[in-house]
Structure 1
Amino acid sequence: MAGYEYVSPEQLAGFDKYKYSAVDTNPLSLYVMHPFWNTVVKVFPTWLAPNLITFSGFLLLVFNFLLMAYFDPDFYASAPGHKHVPDWVWIVVGILNFIAYTLDGVDGKQARRTNSSTPLGELFDHGLDSWSCVYFVVTVYSIFGRGSTGVSVFVLYLLLWVVLFSFILSHWEKYNTGILFLPWGYDISQVKFDYDVLAWILQSPSDILEIHPRLFYFMVGTAFANITCQLIVCQMSSTRCPTLNWLLVPLFLVVMVVNLGVASHIESVLLYTLTTAFTLAHIHYGVQVVKQLSSHFQIYPFSLRKPNSD
């Protein structure tokens, strides 16, 4: 299992034919951010691998998420009568978030600048972006928080899904319009996942979302990232998505157990177990896909040196 190959030979062959295509008509991007990124990228040395820039930005978002989890674990820090998040934390989070956004904007420019653009770079970038959605949205929630002056955890859950769907729809559209056949099976997987998670919330005997909102958001965001990454792989390789994602199996079983009216502490254990399993599975998926594509294109993921030059 440690060396399991997620990318099929057919998909590897499809990656060989892939050509990047994107249209950006946003005035802010065209007239403000791109000129800014074009200036910033000149600061980086030409030996710096673009994927290393991408990964650094992602780690900053993860750090922000963990920092806010420490100072505001239950999203009550902004509510009246609760200990507020220190001012310096907001400053640090804001600065790191802007740096992460900037790194995400310059990684592709660094790839073109160093003539090192590959399908792996785009997949790596978009794959980490899909997981970044939950880190960013949940961190921002601490600004509003819960309580009498905030918003409910369920409202934030719905807002999280707005962001998740906005991200996945752009890739779903590209998947549909970039190949000759339509992915009816993928739609079933996505809808089934939405139904199972929502069913857990509505049928939870212990109101699991109220008890562990941050953990529940993270579990959903991680599973979403895995589903999205598989879509991106299929979209870039012009292959058909699988009918169902295997992560739906343990999620479905948990929902079935919840329907039996389990005790609150058992439900919490199930959430922790499922979150751990999803996280390890997604990390394993990401690592193995990067290894496969790195071997296929004969490149190092975090270095511009060529393997045959060692």
Structure 2
Amino acid sequence: MFDYKYLSKEHLNGFNNYKYRAIDTSPLSNYVMHPVWNATVKIIPRWLAPNLITFLGFICVVVVALLTSWYDYHWLAAGGPGQQNLRGYIPNYVFTLSAVLIFLAYNLDGIDGKQARRLGVSGPLGEMFDHGLDSYIVFLIPFCLFSVFGRDEFSIPLFRGYLIVGSIVLNFYVSHCEKYNTRVLYLPWGYDIAMWASSLLFLVAGIKGPAYYKMFIFHDVTFAQVLEVAIHATGLFTTLPVSIYNVYLSYKNGTGKKLSLLEAVRPVWSMTSLVVVMTYWALNSDVMENYPRAFLLLFGTLFSNIASRLIVSEMSEQKCEVFNSLLWPLIAAALMSIYQPALQHLLLHSVLLVAILAHLHYGICVVRQMCDHFKVKCFIVPKEKRK
């Protein structure tokens, strides 16, 4: 079942020659977090595999997603249409626990690579595993944070919430499109700031309650609206122009792949197709009003699959896909849902189930194939490295 070979011989040969190169200029990361992580990793048991640390961080975020979904499936508990009496229905301890788990996930993500280098087990598998899970985490955090704000007059409409999720995941995707061209992962400053901010948003909600954020910053502009503008501005005015400039420098200095324009933009098409289809579906039906969490979970799952395939391509120096095959059932479901609204629930949840199962299958098979190729075990440190 999980022996399917997604990776070609060319992919595996590319992984054989892969060397990790990353540049992190974030002051918060370099002067605060890295010293903390360098000290922390010294007390981590040597038998604890780096990939297991990565996976534990991922599980922390999944737990937050499950908790917020259980208590607030429709994002109404903190306020929304007809729900004024239910504000604060989510126990405050859920918000506090979410803050702790997200901050723990952030720190585990910072420690895993240091543990790998400490044990001498760094390799392509660890990076691919780490970044593949990150592609899902980057979606799950805003997916969970919507429960802090609800759907009342102090929040934002659901469609604009979808655009926020799109903006956040595109920042992640742009960085990997950049690496696809430059061979270097330039770690954006926004990542560390976003993880701290997400943890603090949950923590304050846990201490003060989600009603604390129901305020006007100036005139009739709410706190949620200011946060919305800040998120979009971060991607539009920092991540995107810096990435374009870094690609330009790699061409100018001859340090990148120096691809033709058509080859350089290959990663764009699958992501553009996903955004166009999902946006068209949202604008031409009431799918987001009826099933907001399922709709966004579908978007995030498909995004993670597209991003994971790009990560495999960039690391193995192979051409990435122009079109992701999982988009075909999405297109069919969207069109049928628009013209047959009665089937909307069945179509949305069917294609969501297909996407989740297909993405799980892809991830598990790729990890198993890489483990077989490099003769390693994903979650076990070799005995000789534990001493």
TM range, smaller chain: over 0.9
Relative distance call for 1:13 and 1:257 in structure 2 (3 A) is same
Quote the residue 2:155 is aligned against. Answer: 150
Q: CA deviation at 1:306?
A: 7.1
What amino acid is the match of 1:156? G
Where 1:155 maps in the other structure, the secondary structure is helix
Contact 1:48 1:303 in 2 (8 A): yes
Residue 279 of structure 1 aligns with an amino acid whose one-letter code is: I
Q: Report the counterpart of residue 71 of structure 1 in structure 2.
A: 71
**1:121-163 CA distance string (max 9 Å, x none):** 0000000000112211111111111122222211110110111
8 Å Cα contact 2:61-2:140 kept in structure 1: yes
1:274 paired residue among 342, 351, 354? 351
Residues 180-237 of structure 1 show CA distances to partners (whole Å, capped at 9, x for unaligned) of: 4334443222211111111111111xx0101111111111000000000000000000
Q: Which residue number in structure 2 is paired with residue 245 of structure 1? A: 324
Structure 1 unaligned blocks of 5 or more? none
Does 1:57 pair with 2:40? no
- AA aligned opposite 2:353: T
Identity of matched residues, %: 42
Task: Measure the CA separation in 1 of the matches of 2:335 and 2:289.
Answer: 20
Q: State how far apart, in whole Å, the 2-side matches of 1:123 and 1:2 are.
A: 18
Map of 1:194 onto structure 2: 275
1:306 and 1:184 map into 2 onto residues whose CA distance is 44
* Residue in 2 that maps onto 1:235: 314
Q: Report the alpha carbon displacement of residue 258 of structure 1 after superposing the two structures with TM.
A: 2.8
For 1:54-83, what per-residue CA distance to the aligned partner results, in whole angstroms no more than 9, with x for missing partners?
A: 000000100000000111111111113224
Misfit runs of 4+, over 6 Å: none
Say if 2:219 is the partner of 1:138.
no
* Residue pairs, 1:9-20, within 5 angstroms: 9-20=9-20
Contact 1:15 1:237 in 2 (8 A): yes
Q: Report the TM-score when normalising by structure 1.
A: 0.94
The alignment partner of 1:81 has SS state of helix
Q: Secondary structure at the match of 2:85?
A: coil
Q: What residue is the counterpart of 2:91 in the other structure?
A: 86
Distance of 2:101 and 2:2 partners within structure 1: 34
- 2:303 maps to 1:224: yes
Does the 8 Å contact 2:2/2:364 carry over to 1?
Answer: no
Contact 1:183–1:241 (Cα < 8 Å) also in 2: no
CA distance in 1, matches of 2:290, 2:18: 45
Amino acid at match of 2:312: V
Does structure 1 residue 215 correspond to structure 2 residue 219? no
Match of 1:7 in 2: 7
Whether contact under 8 Å (1:189, 1:244) holds in the other structure is yes
What per-residue deviation string (whole Å, max 9, x for no partner) do you get for residues 65-114 of structure 1? Answer: 00001111111111132242111111111111111111011000000011
CA distance in 2 between counterparts of 1:130 and 1:102 reads 17
For structure 2, the 5+ residue unaligned runs are 184-256
Asked if structure 2 preserves the Cα contact closer than 8 Å seen for 1:77 and 1:83, the reply is yes
**What is the CA distance between 1:250 and its match in structure 2?**
0.5
The residue identity in structure 1 corresponding to 2:19 is K
Query: Per-residue deviation at 1:263?
Result: 2.7
- Give aligned pairs, total: 303
Contact 1:183 / 1:240 at 8 angstroms: preserved in 2? no
Task: Judge conservation of contact 1:299–1:306 (CA < 8 Å) in 2.
Answer: no
**Aligned residue type for 1:201:** A
Q: Secondary structure at the match of 1:23?
A: strand
- Report if the CA contact (8 A) 1:298-1:306 is conserved: no
Cα distance in 1 between the residues matched to 2:266 and 2:92:
48
Mean CA deviation greater in 105-114 or 180-189: 180-189
1:288 equivalent in structure 2 = 365
1:25-64 mapped onto 2 (5 Å cutoff)? 25-64=25-64
**Letter of the aligned partner of 1:20 in structure 2?**
Y
Structure 1 residue identity aligned to 2:172: F
Q: TM-score, normalised by structure 2?
A: 0.76
Q: Distance in 2 between matches of 1:283 and 1:306?
A: 29
Paired AA for residue 269 in structure 1: L
Partner Cα distance (1:65, 1:231) in 2: 25
Does structure 2 conserve the Cα–Cα contact (< 8 Å) formed by 1:185 and 1:244?
A: no
How far residue 3 of structure 1 moved from its aligned partner, in angstroms, is 2.2
Please tell me the root mean square deviation across aligned C-alpha atoms, in Å: 1.4
The alignment status of 1:262 with 2:266, answered yes or no, reads no
